[in-house]
């Protein structure tokens, strides 16, 4: 299971990095264009939005995995004995369940985009709407892995913070 998690984590990091690089290039073109060096192409606005969607989509699972996603645990972590672990397990299950329930509607939303194109780039919108599917699947995978690892007693459900993430 650790190999699978490592593979998904590396893939998510790579795709988040690629989306962030696309975002940076589009913003740099916009900045130079607004500095009167040349006219900024209109498609940079769209590309910036789409790249940001995919940064979030690929990054949300990593954030959950590393404990960087917003988490309200002040009450649950202050409880005695096994209760914090129970709440972490329930939270992981609830997150996985909600993501699984939303995949169908997200697929419908994505498929509707096949009939639409973006105004400036003329891209099919199902490719852009797929960012919602990617986000749900990423969060589903990482929350299910957390719940499963807790059931197998591999983990206590605390986020996996690696040394390279804290530097």
Q: What is the pLDDT of residues 33-61, one digit of tens each?
A: 888 778 888 999 999 999 999 999 999 99
Instruction: Give the integer Cα–Cα distance in Å for 11 and 5.
Output: 10
Instruction: Give the integer Cα–Cα distance in Å for 100 and 93.
Output: 10
The tokens for 19 are: 């989306």
Domain ranges of the chain: 2-158
Query: pTM to 2 decimals?
Result: 0.87
pLDDT at 163: 63
The tokens for 62 are: 């990593």
| 3-state secondary structure (DSSP) of residue 67 | coil
């Amino acid at each position: 299971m650790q190999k699978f998690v490592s593979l998904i984590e590396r893939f998510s990091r790579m795709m988040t990095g690629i989306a962030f690089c696309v975002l940076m290039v589009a913003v740099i073109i916009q900045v130079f264009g607004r500095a009167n060096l040349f006219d900024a192409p209109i498609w940079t606005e769209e590309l910036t939005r789409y790249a940001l969607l995919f940064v979030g989509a690929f990054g949300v699972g990593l954030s959950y995995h590393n404990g960087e996603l917003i988490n309200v645990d002040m009450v649950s972590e202050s409880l005695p004995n096994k209760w914090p672990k129970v709440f972490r397990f329930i939270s992981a299950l609830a997150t996985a369940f909600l993501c699984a329930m939303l995949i169908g509607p997200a697929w419908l939303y994505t498929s509707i985009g096949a009939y639409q194109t973006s105004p400036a780039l003329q891209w099919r919108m199902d490719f852009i709407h797929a960012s919602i599917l990617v986000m749900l699947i990423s969060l589903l995978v990482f929350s299910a892995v957390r719940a499963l690892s807790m059931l197998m007693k591999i983990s206590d459900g605390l986020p996996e913070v690696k040394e390279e993430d804290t530097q």
